[in-house]
Structure 1
């Protein structure tokens, strides 16, 4: 997909393909077919039982006939970037450069577009590997504003998507994420601060604090990803682009009274401009 012999610079090719620059230079480590199958099943179980840790997932997999230990499950979970979602005691001191910001959405009425944006990263399985998907979601309308794929859990592909969303749609008042290292980094929080955006972060392990992004992941995986076995990153890119266009423009949402995210987003912005 990236042609190093083409006169167009690699950075520009990545931008046109909505790929993180790190993806073009990353040398993948081979993953066995058995490990990939286990990772896909762990991902499915994690969607159903987000509270399940390595021990519970090990036992669930053993019930299905898999021979696997807790340490192997934990290793695969780390590789996928997932963990059990439940409140845990504060056992370690965070890096002093990574400030954790308070959760600002509790009891906050969010009824208009660009009031609150939320973002997260999820694991996307392919036939012979996997990638990570980052998406920016408008909380009130559920509209996906920008997204990127990467085969590394770096910060750069997150920054690229946020910059694109801000360029196309302006700035939200509040930006909510979990406490992942990509989002607590100085690069990420600095970008938000530079645009005067308030930073909100979920409580550690509290998936309900970012519930609409979690619902987006479930829709993407059960309505698109698990129905296809992407052969390449390019195929994943095309499949997700097609699905997210459907999600924004065509798919009715029960929580939006049967409207689409595009309808709610654009109608509310029109109302705000008229009122102004």
Structure 2
């Protein structure tokens, strides 16, 4: 609190010194108004910053640089990891506290998700199911779907084949892309499981 008061006093005094002569106010008058002793003010001006405050200032500069270099995407965990790469010994909690003091936080960017699109199907393909979703025997109707799953390493895609008679998943394949080959692989696995040609 006292340090903040002295900082405010010092800035105020510097502003006053910059005023034209006829508008200047004495330093003693300002110190009196702010209830700060003259000796205390001069002692504060001569005081050398502590090692802790110097380290804090250096760390904050590094945090700001890493934050800007990441296009404001990094939060405390990633900034802490970056600092540790350069030999800084600092906790994630400390980095988080400094970021709060500096008024910065990670910007969440919605990740790009590749999705399937309508294809230009051949005229040879016909709708033979006709919305009859309750077949009377196993392996009469299969359906397939692809969904994406978020992991810490990025998105993976789950392709599955279901028998509509039992509503049971008979095969599935995990992949990192939406290539048609993964769908073919999933169908081939289903054919092997059910011994269907």
Tell me which interval the TM-score lies in, with the shorter structure as reference length.
0.3 to 0.5
Q: Which has the larger radius of gyration?
A: 2
Structure 1 length-normalised TM: 0.28
Greater RCO, 1 or 2 (C-alpha within 8 Å, sep 6+): 1
Structure 2 length-normalised TM: 0.38
